[in-house]
A and B are shown apart, each in its own frame.
Chain A
Amino acid sequence: MKTRQLRSLLEDVLIGSALFALVLPSAWAVPSYARQTGMACSTCHTVFPELTPFGREFKLNGYVLDNMKQIKGITFERSETMSLNTIPPLSLMAQISYTHTSTALPDSSSITGALAQDGEASFPQQVSFFYAGKIAEGLGSFVQLTYSGPGDHFGLDNTDIRYAYHTSFDPAAQQDVIFGVTLNNNPTVQDPWNSTPAWGYPFAGSATAPTPITSAKLDSGAGAIGQNSAGLGGYMWFDHSVYAELTMYTGAKVGGTHPLDSSQAPLAHGIAPYWRLAYEKRWGQNSLSVGTFGIRAGIRPAATVPGSTTTPPQNVPLGPADKYTDYGLDTQYQYISDDHLVSAFGTYFHEKQNLDASFKYGLSANPSNTLNTEKLALQYYYRRKIGGSVGIFNTTGSTDTGLYAPAAVTGSASGSPSSRGYVFELNYVPFLNVKLQVQYVAYSKFNGGGGNYDGSGRNASDNNTLYLLGWFNF
Chain B
Amino acid sequence: MTVKSAALKFLTLSVLACSIGPVLAQVSESDKKDAAKMASEVCASCHGPGGRSTAPTFPRLAAQTPAYIEAQLKAFHDQTRGDPDAIAYMWGMASQLNDNMIAALADYFSQQRPAPGTQASTAAIVTGRQIYEQGVPSAQIPACETCHGKGAAGAGPFPRLAGQHAPYLFKQMLVIQNALRSAPVMHGIVKDLTPQQMQQVAAYLGSL
Q: Is the pairing of A and B real?
A: yes
Residues of A within 8 A of B (CB): 37-40, 42-43, 53-54, 57-58, 61, 65-69, 166, 168, 173-176, 239-240, 282-285, 336-338
Q: Which residue of A lies closest to B90 (CB)?
A: A39
Q: Is the interface of A mostly helix, strand, loop or mixed?
A: loop
The answer to whether B40 and A43 touch across the interface, beta carbons within 8 angstroms, is no
The answer to whether B87 and A166 touch across the interface, beta carbons within 8 angstroms, is no
The answer to whether A42 and B88 touch across the interface, beta carbons within 8 angstroms, is yes
Q: How far is the CA of A210 from the CA of B50 in the complex (A)?
A: 52
List 21 A-B pairs, Cβ < 8 Å: A38-B91, A38-B92, A38-B93, A39-B88, A39-B92, A40-B89, A53-B45, A54-B46, A57-B45, A67-B92, A67-B93, A174-B49, A175-B49, A284-B54, A284-B55, A285-B55, A285-B57, A336-B57, A337-B167, A338-B57, A338-B171
Cβ-defined partner of A65 (8 Å) among B42, B56, B94: B42
The answer to whether B56 and A285 touch across the interface, beta carbons within 8 angstroms, is yes
- Give the contact-size bracket for chain B: 20 to 34
Q: How far is the CA of A39 from the CA of B88 in the complex (A)?
A: 5
Q: Chain A residues near B167: list those with CB within 8 A.
A: 285, 337
Asked if B29 lies at the interface with its beta carbon under 8 angstroms from chain A, I say no
The answer to whether A40 and B54 touch across the interface, beta carbons within 8 angstroms, is no
Q: Chain B residues near A175: list those with CB within 8 A.
A: 49
Interface string of B163-187 (1 = CB under 8 A from A): 0000100010000000000000000
Cβ-defined partner of A43 (8 Å) among B55, B89, B94, B96: B89
Cβ-defined partner of B88 (8 Å) among A43, A61, A174: A43
Distance between A399 CB and nearest chain B CB, rounded to angstroms:
49
The answer to whether A37 and B40 touch across the interface, beta carbons within 8 angstroms, is no
Cβ-defined partner of A174 (8 Å) among B50, B93, B94: B50
Q: How far is the CA of A324 from the CA of B96 in the complex (A)?
A: 49
Asked if B44 lies at the interface with its beta carbon under 8 angstroms from chain A, I say yes
Q: Is the interface of B mostly helix, strand, loop or mixed?
A: helix
Q: How far is the CA of A53 from the CA of B53 in the complex (A)?
A: 12
Q: How far is the CA of A284 from the CA of B206 in the complex (A)?
A: 13
Q: How far is the CA of A337 from the CA of B84 in the complex (A)?
A: 13
Asked if B95 lies at the interface with its beta carbon under 8 angstroms from chain A, I say yes
Which residues from 96 to 126 on chain B have a C-beta closer than 8 Å to any C-beta of chain A?
96
Q: How far is the CA of A40 from the CA of B57 in the complex (A)?
A: 15
3 tightest A-B CB contacts, nearest first: A38-B92, A40-B88, A174-B49
Known contacts A43-B88, A57-B45; A67 and B56 CB within 8 A of each other? no
Cβ-defined partner of B96 (8 Å) among A57, A69, A173, A240: A69
Which residues from 59 to 97 on chain B have a C-beta closer than 8 Å to any C-beta of chain A?
84, 87-89, 91-96
Distance between B59 CB and nearest chain A CB, rounded to angstroms:
14
Q: Chain A residues near B96: list those with CB within 8 A.
A: 66-69
In the complex, which of the residues B45, B88, B89, B91 has the most CB atoms of chain A within 10 Å of its own CB atom?
A: B45
Q: Which residue of B lies closest to A34 (CB)?
A: B92
Q: How far is the CA of A233 from the CA of B40 in the complex (A)?
A: 25
Q: Chain B residues near A285: list those with CB within 8 A.
A: 55-57, 167
Distance between B46 CB and nearest chain A CB, rounded to angstroms:
6
Q: How far is the CA of A240 from the CA of B53 in the complex (A)?
A: 12
Q: How far is the CA of A284 from the CA of B58 in the complex (A)?
A: 10
Q: Which residue of B lies closest to A37 (CB)?
A: B92
Known contacts A40-B87, A54-B45, A54-B46; A166 and B40 CB within 8 A of each other? yes
Q: How far is the CA of A338 from the CA of B55 in the complex (A)?
A: 12
Q: Chain B residues near A338: list those with CB within 8 A.
A: 57, 84, 171
The answer to whether A67 and B95 touch across the interface, beta carbons within 8 angstroms, is yes
The answer to whether B50 and A61 touch across the interface, beta carbons within 8 angstroms, is no
In the complex, which of the residues B49, B55, B84, B95 has the most CB atoms of chain A within 10 Å of its own CB atom?
A: B55
Q: Chain B residues near A43: list those with CB within 8 A.
A: 88-89
The answer to whether B40 and A284 touch across the interface, beta carbons within 8 angstroms, is no
Cβ-defined partner of A176 (8 Å) among B46, B49, B55, B57: B49
Cβ-defined partner of B93 (8 Å) among A39, A42, A166, A336: A39
Q: Chain B residues near A168: list those with CB within 8 A.
A: 40
Q: Chain A residues near B42: list those with CB within 8 A.
A: 65
The answer to whether B41 and A61 touch across the interface, beta carbons within 8 angstroms, is yes
Q: Which residue of B lies closest to A166 (CB)?
A: B41
Interface string of B154-169 (1 = CB under 8 A from A): 0000000000000100
Known: A58-B45, A337-B57. 7 other contacts (CB 8 A): A38-B91, A43-B89, A54-B45, A175-B49, A176-B41, A336-B55, A337-B167
